Amino acid sequence: MSHQEHRPNTEGKYKWIGTRPDRPDGADKVTGRARFGADFNLPGQLIGKVLRSPHAHAVIKSIDTSKALALSGVKAVITAKDFPDQPNLIVPTGEMQVNMRDITRNIMAREKALYEGHPVAAVAAVSEAVAKQALALIKVDYKVLPHVIDVAEAMKPGAPILHDHLLTEGASPPATKPSNIAKRIEFKKGDAKAGFAQAEVVIEKDYTTQAVHQGYIEPHATLASAAEDGQIQVWSTTQGHFQVRGFCARLLGVDTSQIRVTPTEIGGGFGGKTVVYLEPLAMRLSQKTGKPVKMTMAREDVFRASGPAPGGNVKVKIGAMKDGRIVAAECIVEMQAGAFPGSPVGPACMCSFACYDIENVYIEGFDVVSNRPKVAAYRAPGAPISAWAVESTMDILAQRLDMDPIDLRLKNAAKAGTKTAYGVTFNTIGMVETLQAVKDSEHYKSPVKPGWGRGVAAGFWFNIGADSSAASHVGEDGSVTVISGNPDIGGSRASLALMAAEELGVDYNKVRPIIADTASIGFNFVTGGSRVTFATGLAVVNSVRDMIRELKVRAAKIWKIDPEAVIWENGMAKPAGNQVGTFEPLSLADLAAQAGRTGGPINGHAQLNVTGAGPGFGVHCVDLKVDDDTGCVTVGRYTAAQDVGTAIHPSYVEGQLQGGAVQGVGWALNEEYIYNAQGKLENPGFLDYRMPVASDLPKIETILVEVPNPQHPYGVRGVGEVPIVPPIAAVGNAIARATGVRMVDLPMSPPRLSAALDAARPRRMAAE
């Protein structure tokens, strides 16, 4: 059991990069000093609570708040009337897109309640108990409508329609009547029909998946304080405080400069904290009352009303020659968007066959609304769903051809120069290296235990760059503060500090990374898309380079030589060229001490729109056994390999691989949203929404494969999302190989797996 590193490109090359120091936020987090969303309080604060729809689909005929307002201790009640309507305007949020018209309806139902748990009103009161009493006094007159939960049902003619204005975008012929299909998309490469005609083997299969929650341990929480002069301060547990500012400015109709958002420490997000729920409500309640308003969600609220990842239906068809070469592939994805358009069906389609170099591809996707909470991003949004279907089908193909599953993938692997079905041609990528690393691993070479099954699957994610700002300051004593604006959800503070230390040539412990509020650093796009270490890392490197340029100017001034004749080496300015050895080198501390006399404080800045994100590939291998009588799965060994570019802080890269694998195993085995006939969620808690617990899994082994991204000074690729893409199919493939039963519906829970084993028993006994 081990962690392996394949680091031929970075080994010995750097002093700090690739080392594993303690994270700057570590001590605070393990001692309980760190302050998370619900830890912030202000004197005189009120408690805000949300009244949520008990119906899956209902017209809101009227809301009577008079009795609630009359209750002693209640300071304000708000409804959708307290927010201006918003235009039909698409804005990005992490890797997904949302419509402002929909966001304002999602934070507070306007014409209709569209899912159980949809906010209908909110109160601010002197205590939680009074706020709860006030909720019970709000009278909402609903006209309950027929609802639809399932995607296939929602797509049928005659299904209850959620939005009368919704005409399918991209339909051919163009849509004339409203439906629940918000969008149809298509990607084509070559001629799939001709490809399948030429194929010697064709495998076709339908798969389904269920909605799953990101499952962050910390529920949403916020504290807002609006002052009489219009300034609003907000503390929020979020993956993007600039995003909170931007959304809330629009939703409340105020300037972004009026709002100052401070991100708290964050207890997990995984994409789910890239949108707003409580913040605009708390801000409006604070504006109305003139007092700070604190709001937190209970776990039940988190499940009922914060974005899960969608479920979907996927049809996959793969055609190959007998030697394993894939000649045609087709994938059709129908995906839940929740109550408003905007599922990650686009990335699901684009990622489906991105691991492979296939000549003829046809991909089609449908974005479908139903009476469920609006979906939000979750690690590689959409990709695990299509990968589950594609990678399961690849395994069936490998079995049919009697090929090793890694060899089949190696034969078709995408390489530099491969053109994807969505149009991009890959630069340097590590799909082949990652497959090879698993093939060469001790795990893969070890024999499979009798009665066990071994499953392999691959996965792809684009990763993104986008907008980042950073600043670096030298203190009077020569220590350094690095300021950026992305909440740290995966150890990014440590990674940013390591890159700054490497660049500056100073000790890691002399660099303090700080995450600044929205008023204290330039704009930063959300922590998402696996972008922070890559894009904000680049901004930090550039800000440090800007500072080094200034440091060289100061040294030149002291030495009265040309700045061009100064170099920066090992944390010191040194004379170079014809000046070599003329002066004693000046350290950061020396230069800081003389800063006042040489031009004032020494800082560096950078602001970038970062492009050139390096895509990532992962290959996972799992050994498991299935209890034939109960359908319970025991995972015995699990290895996650990934092309990670350069592992800046290998422990946190491994942590990303392990976390993604664990979440993917949960998605595969037990996690699902269960609705009753009334469209109400039956399992809004961790008891019956079953995420894995520690005893469910072995230690996840990792293999870091470093294929540096040529478009980053240290070769960084995003690593946080790829690891959730392969696990579902890896588990399904292992189950198929252990039992001979191919599962196509998620989750592969004990009751479902047991039923499938029982159904296949006559066939399995005949085969023996």
Binding positions for another protein, rule: CB under 8 A: 129-130, 133, 625, 627, 629-630, 632, 634, 669-670, 674, 682-683, 686-688, 690, 692-693, 695-696, 749-751, 754-755, 758
| CA 557, chain centre distance (Å) | 48
Beta strands 112-113 and 181-189 are unpaired
Phi (first) and psi of residue 512, to 5 degrees: -110, 115
Q: Is 162 helix (H, G, I), strand (E, B) or coil?
A: coil
Report the run of H or E that residue 225 belongs to, with start and end.
Answer: strand 221-226
Residue placing its CB nearer to another protein in the complex, 89 or 136: 136
Q: Which residue in the block uniquely carries the two structure tokens 């990014």?
A: 492
Residue placing its CB nearer to another protein in the complex, 268 or 563: 268
Residue placing its CB nearer to another protein in the complex, 687 or 766: 687
Indicate if the alpha-carbon torsion angle 80, 84, 87, 90 is positive or negative.
negative
Residue placing its CB nearer to another protein in the complex, 84 or 685: 685
Tokens of 8: 């031929």
Q: Min. distance of Cβ 126 from another protein in angstroms?
A: 11
Q: Min. distance of Cβ 625 from another protein in angstroms?
A: 8
d(CA 589, CA 477): 5
| The one-letter amino acid at 266 | I
Q: Min. distance of Cβ 428 from another protein in angstroms?
A: 41
Residue placing its CB nearer to another protein in the complex, 28 or 688: 688
Q: Min. distance of Cβ 216 from another protein in angstroms?
A: 17
Tokens of 18: 């690739």
Q: Min. distance of Cβ 671 from another protein in angstroms?
A: 10
Q: Min. distance of Cβ 685 from another protein in angstroms?
A: 9
Q: Min. distance of Cβ 691 from another protein in angstroms?
A: 9
In a 13 Å sphere around the CA of 1, the CA atoms on its Cβ side amount to: 6
Length in residues, the chain: 768
Q: Cα 84–97–213 angle (5° rounding)?
A: 100
With CA atoms as reference, report the closest residue to 568 among 610, 606, 602: 602
Residue placing its CB nearer to another protein in the complex, 53 or 238: 53
Cα Rg of the chain (Å, integer): 27
Tokens of 244: 């909170």
Q: Which residue in the block uniquely carries the two structure tokens 């005893």?
A: 695
Q: Min. distance of Cβ 452 from another protein in angstroms?
A: 12
Q: Min. distance of Cβ 687 from another protein in angstroms?
A: 6
Residue placing its CB nearer to another protein in the complex, 199 or 691: 691
With CA atoms as reference, report the closest residue to 732 among 488, 391, 467: 391
Q: Min. distance of Cβ 630 from another protein in angstroms?
A: 6
Residue placing its CB nearer to another protein in the complex, 422 or 638: 638
Residue placing its CB nearer to another protein in the complex, 288 or 690: 690
Label residue 324 left, alpha or beta by phi (over 0 means left) and psi (-120 to 50 means alpha). Answer: left
Residue placing its CB nearer to another protein in the complex, 146 or 751: 751
Strand partners, 189: 361
Beta carbons within 8 Å of 153's beta carbon, 6+ residues apart: 159, 370
Tokens of 427: 């630069």
